[in-house]
């Protein structure tokens, strides 16, 4: 059976450094971070008091206010990013709604709604809980609401694999197109977990940075003094199409998805395999799927969480895959600027990787001031790098040992 080539024709983003694609991209290129003390709730008594919050976001500017009140913040982010991606792709009226689908990831879903309604249960009893609690909270609802908004009646669901969630969403959406089940897919991830429960939970397991005296430099991937990730929020969305479908309608193609790979560490609940085998084989699988040798890759958008284990083990995995070529790679982590968006991280980072290929500009890894001897690659620490690259990888690794790598190809 002939497999269809898959291309990207539209991008949308909502992050702590920008409420849309262009403002986010300009901030990333400039090395401008969005980490600051939390504004949305009091943080006294918490181990960590800062995050990469989306500030100034108003769903009423793109949704009916009544509909906005029935959607959790993570769904609102998804709708905003999806609308931007659809507009960017100039998708227009769907020729066949049943051949257009939506797959949107979220690692946690409507946690803000869960917290709010649990408080109402304790204060008012069972009758105080909103009848909209369940549909607002469940993690698949972003995909459902986006499909309703655009009338997309094809494959429609969410993926949940912690911080690899939107990597799986994009890969699975590719499968729908490659195997002929769809012509168009909206794929990505959304997360809105900057809230008391998440801050306490991640903080108490000592996964978060506790650099409360200097939040702006707290996310410092690959740095010797890194002490944990910074919680972020936002969304990233991609419009994927079969190349034949995109060319038939005259769409501008941003990049091709050349291949992807997925593995499991089968090692530990939260810690990556010490030998880097999971990440190594995820990257090898993506290269095999793309049909290219390791030496064809010029850039890797790393998972790069700023945690002690992840960064050194990801570096080890890269060296295992690329050997001597690893020293020629341009590696970066945009989490240094937007924080860790959990289930949405892979989608935002995929969008950044595509823009890097398209513009020939690789955003920097900021706050990397004290190199770790165990993290010895070129992490673009001195600023954005101008480089024309044909192939790039984007890594997403998650609690539970989930690993996804997507290979993107530049389009002349």
Q: At residue 3, does pLDDT exceed 80?
A: no
Which of 163, 174, 375, 380 is flagged as catalytic? 163
The superfamily in CATH containing domain 259-410 is: Thiolase/Chalcone synthase (3.40.47.10)
Q: Give pTM, 2 decimals.
A: 0.97
pLDDT band at 4 (very low <50, low <70, confident <90, very high): confident
Q: At residue 1, does pLDDT exceed 80?
A: no
- Mean pLDDT for 114-138 is 97
Task: Quote the tokens at residue 171.
Answer: 């890969």
**3-class secondary-structure state, position 45:** coil
Which of 88, 168, 245, 303 is flagged as catalytic? 303
Backbone angles phi, psi at 113, to 5 degrees: -65, -40
Q: HSE on the CB side for 313, CA within 13 Å?
A: 22
The verdict on whether 163 is a catalytic residue reads yes
The verdict on whether 289 is a catalytic residue reads no
Which residue ranges make up each domain of the chain?
6-248, 259-410
Considering the segment(s) 6-248 as one domain, its CATH architecture is 3-Layer(aba) Sandwich (3.40)
Task: Quote the tokens at residue 158.
Answer: 């969410």
The verdict on whether 340 is a catalytic residue reads yes
Which of 195, 340, 380, 402 is flagged as catalytic? 340
Give the pLDDT confidence of 269-280 residue by residue, as tens digits.
988 889 999 999
**3-class secondary-structure state, position 72:** coil
pLDDT of residue 270: 86
| Euclidean distance between CA atoms 394 and 290, whole angstroms | 13
Give the pLDDT confidence of 88-113 residue by residue, as tens digits.
999 999 999 999 999 999 999 999 99
Two domains, one topology: 6-248 and 259-410:
yes
Give the pLDDT confidence of 365-399 residue by residue, as tens digits.
999 999 999 999 999 999 999 999 999 999 999 99
According to DSSP, the β-strands at 330-332 and 297-301 are parallel
- Mean pLDDT for 2-27 is 95
Q: At residue 2, does pLDDT exceed 80?
A: no
pLDDT of residue 232: 98
| Euclidean distance between CA atoms 327 and 60, whole angstroms | 48
């Amino acid at each position: 059976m002939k497999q269809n080539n898959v291309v990207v024709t539209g991008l949308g983003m909502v992050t702590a450094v920008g409420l849309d694609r262009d403002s986010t991209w300009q901030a990333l290129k400039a090395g401008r971070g969005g980490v600051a003390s939390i504004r949305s709730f009091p943080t006294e008594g918490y181990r960590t008091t800062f995050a990469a919050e989306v500030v100034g976001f108003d769903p009423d500017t793109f949704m009916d206010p009544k509909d906005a009140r029935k959607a959790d913040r993570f769904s609102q982010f998804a709708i905003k990013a999806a609308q931007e991606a659809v507009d960017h792709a100039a998708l227009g009226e769907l020729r066949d709604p049943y051949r257009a689908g939506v797959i949107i990831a979220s690692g946690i879903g409507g946690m803000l709604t869960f917290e709010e309604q649990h408080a109402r249960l304790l204060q008012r009893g069972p009758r105080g809980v909103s009848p909209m609690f369940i549909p607002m909270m469940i993690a698949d609802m972003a995909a459902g609401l986006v499909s309703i908004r655009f009338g997309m009646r094809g494959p429609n669901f969410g993926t949940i694999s912690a911080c690899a969630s939107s990597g799986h969403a994009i890969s699975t959406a590719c499968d729908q197109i490659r195997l002929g089940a769809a012509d168009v897919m909206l794929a990505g991830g959304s997360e809105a977990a900057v809230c008391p429960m998440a801050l306490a939970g991640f903080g108490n397991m000592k996964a978060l940075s506790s650099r409360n005296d200097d939040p702006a430099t707290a996310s410092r991937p690959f740095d010797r003094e890194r002490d944990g990730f910074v919680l972020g929020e936002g969304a990233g969305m991609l419009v994927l199409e079969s190349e034949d479908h995109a060319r038939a309608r005259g769409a501008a193609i941003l990049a091709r998805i050349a291949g992807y790979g997925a593995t499991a560490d089968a090692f530990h609940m939260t810690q990556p395999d010490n030998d880097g085998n999971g990440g190594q084989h995820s990257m090898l699988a993506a290269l095999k799927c793309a049909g290219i040798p390791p030496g064809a890759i010029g850039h890797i958008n790393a998972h790069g969480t700023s945690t002690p284990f992840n960064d050194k083990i990801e570096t080890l995995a890269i060296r295992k895959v690329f050997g001597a070529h690893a020293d020629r790679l341009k590696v970066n982590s945009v989490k240094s600027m937007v924080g860790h968006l959990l289930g949405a991280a892979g989608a935002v980072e995929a969008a950044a990787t595509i823009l890097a290929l398209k513009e020939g500009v690789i955003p920097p890894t900021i706050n990397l001031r004290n190199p770790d001897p165990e993290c010895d690659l070129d992490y673009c620490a001195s600023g954005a790098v101008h480089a024309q690259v044909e192939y790039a990888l984007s890594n997403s690794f998650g609690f539970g040992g989930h690993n996804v790598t997507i290979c993107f190809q530049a389009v002349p």
